[in-house]
Amino acid sequence: MEHRLSDPPAAPGIGAKQYAEVWGDTVDLKDLGKAVVIGGVIALACYLIAGRILLGYAPTAQIARTYAMLFGLLGCVGAGALCARLFAPKRDLSEAELDDSWRDETLAALAEGGRFGRTEDLPPAVQAEMKELGLYDTFVRYEAVLRQAEAKNP
């Protein structure tokens, strides 16, 4: 890249990604700029070029224009595929194992409204489902804890 005198002195973080949240997800501003140009140019070029060529073949100008739009849409998809290859997603995906503290927090949150219920009162089908998921014992144990707490502070 060309270096200009007006550029700030090199510092850690230069050339680093500039993350921003646009339309519901994170992007890098430089990549976003390139993607917008690529998407616009490819799609519009496909539409205009297809329109020129089809005008010679289609029975009416109206039909030529409509099919040119289909090519334009294919251009959009193509531009999207190209950008997907060029720019990596700015997402941090981990496949962490379940954190037990979340489980306890969730149980506490569920009990907050005072309506936790009793697992033994559930229909057998639901109890079986909970056993299969390994949640049966978790809930029964937590219900006992709740009952004890209730006995202490009625």
Partner 1 sequence: MTPLMYDILVAVGMGLLGAVLFSAIGLISGTDETTTIAPVTLLVVLLGVPPAGVFTFWLAAAVSKHMTHAVPTALLGIPGDTLAVPLMPQATSLRNLGVPHIALRKMISGAIIAAFLSVPLAVLFAVLLAPFGPAITSAAPWIFLAAALGVAYFSPGRWASVAALIPFVLLIVGLQTVTKGYGVSLGVSYFLGIAIGPLVADLFAILSPLDRKRMMRNAPRSFVLAPDVKSWGGHFPNPFRVLDRSQTGWTLVTATISSATFVFSPVAMTVMLGEVVGARIKHAYHRLTSVLAARNGVTEATYVAEALIPLIAFGLPLSPVAAGPAAPLFNAPPVFTINNATGEIHNLHTLMSPLEFLGYGLLAVLLAGLIAYPFAMNYARSAAAFVSRNLSHEAIIATFVGLVLVIGTWEGGALALMVIVTVGLVGGTLYRTLGLNTGVQFMGYYAAVLSVPTIAKLVTGG
Rounded Cα distance between 119 and 144, Å, is 11
Interaction with partner 1 in 20-59: which residues (CB under 8 A)? 20-29, 31-32, 34-36, 38-40, 42-44, 46-48
Of 49, 55, 58, 80, which lies in the binding site for partner 1, with binding defined by CB under 8 A? 80
Q: 130 forms bridges with which residues in the sheet?
A: none
Of 10, 11, 93, 151, which lies in the binding site for partner 1, with binding defined by CB under 8 A? 93
The nearer residue to partner 1, 106 or 144, going by C-beta atoms, is 106
Interaction with partner 1 in 97-136: which residues (CB under 8 A)? 97-98, 102-103, 105-107, 109-111, 115-119, 121-123, 125-126, 129-130, 132-135
Of 53, 77, 145, 149, which lies in the binding site for partner 1, with binding defined by CB under 8 A? 77
* 55 touches 64 (CB < 8 A): yes
The nearer residue to partner 1, 38 or 55, going by C-beta atoms, is 38
Of 19, 53, 141, 145, which lies in the binding site for partner 1, with binding defined by CB under 8 A? 19
What are the distances in angstroms from CA 119 to CA 111, 133, 134, 139, 150?
Answer: 13, 14, 13, 7, 17
CA 139, distance to chain mean position in Å, is 32
64 part of the interface to partner 1, by CB under 8 A: no
The nearer residue to partner 1, 44 or 55, going by C-beta atoms, is 44
Least CB distance from residue 144 to partner 1, whole Å? 14
The DSSP-derived string for 9-37 is: PP-TTTT---EEEETTEEEEHHHHHHHHH
